[in-house]
Amino acid sequence: MSGFQDDPQHPGGGVWRHGSGSLVLPVIGLTIIGTVALGMSGLGVWAVAVGSDFRITLMIAGLSASMWGMAAYVRRDMQGKRGGTIAISDAGIDLDLAANRSLIHRPRACRVHFDWSAVAGLLTREEAYGAQGMAMLQRPWWLAPKDGAPILLFEERAITSRIQDASMRDIANEIAGRGALAITELPLAVGKGGILGVWFVRPPSIDAGPLGPAAERWIMRRVWFTSVLVGLAGLAVLLMLVLG
């Protein structure tokens, strides 16, 4: 993960281009999912028009709703990957961040300046989300103003898995170092994983208390189990390609 680069507009400062990856795959995915969703919706209208069996119509409606929900999820991911910038100098920090840079916390677009004297510090924690026997682990990072709610800067997704995002700790350390800020590690918190980690997901509150040792071991076992399943699925696909 590249760090802050020299900022010609602010001598002595640095700027980091926010963005979690290429938009090519999300655009392709949204196109495919949107096309399928439209097709399913059209099929549902046809089923109603010809008086198909109620159970078949209901199944088509459920599949159509699921595909539209997935399309909305991919669209939010694309919004977050539009990026933005974080600029730091001896005077303060400037944030120009896109909406939905987290798929769970749903942050709004943010464009604001803080003098370092107005910032209390940085906050971070691991968050676990369980769904259908599996679990994923994420790490959001917040800037905590002395007056107002914490602002989500960025997050690391799918921690401990083979598809985990790059660590953002170096970026956070640069911000903390320039502003002489402390980084506070909040306790592991558990949110609502909803359905497959996509629908009806709800993050834990920022002031969630620590879990007990037994609960923490239990959720981490689910995270480990999920990472193993993902690894086995990837191996199965690779074997199919090699042997097929």
**143 versus 101: which is more confidently predicted?**
143
DSSP assignment, residue 195? B
**93 versus 222: which is more confidently predicted?**
93
- Answer yes or no: is pLDDT of 1 > 50: no
- The answer to whether 176 touches 119, Cβ cutoff 8 Å, is no
CA–CA dist 145, 202 (Å, integer): 24
> Per-residue confidence at 239, pLDDT binned at 50, 70, 90?
low
- Answer yes or no: is pLDDT of 147 > 90: yes
Predicted pLDDT at 80? 74
- Answer yes or no: is pLDDT of 169 > 90: yes
Mean residue pLDDT across the chain: 83
CA–CA dist 140, 125 (Å, integer): 6
Provide mean pLDDT across the span 144-160.
Answer: 91
CA–CA dist 129, 118 (Å, integer): 33
- Per cent of the chain over pLDDT 70 is 84
Predicted pLDDT at 65? 83
CA–CA dist 125, 166 (Å, integer): 16
Among 30-34, 154-158, 192-196, 229-233, the least confident range: 229-233
What does the block give as tokens for 93?
Answer: 């920090």
CA–CA dist 55, 220 (Å, integer): 40
> Per-residue confidence at 212, pLDDT binned at 50, 70, 90?
confident
pLDDT digits (tens, 9 = 90+) for 51-68: 888 888 888 888 888 788
What are the residue boundaries of the structural domains of the chain, listed by start? 5-21+81-237, 24-79
Predicted pLDDT at 234? 61
Which residues lie below 8 Å from residue 137, measured CB to CB, with a gap of 6+? Answer: 126, 127, 128, 129, 158, 159, 160, 223
State the pTM of this model.
Answer: 0.76
Amino acid present at 164:
Q
Which is it for strands 134-145 and 151-156: parallel, antiparallel or unpaired?
A: antiparallel
**71 versus 123: which is more confidently predicted?**
123
Predicted pLDDT at 19? 64
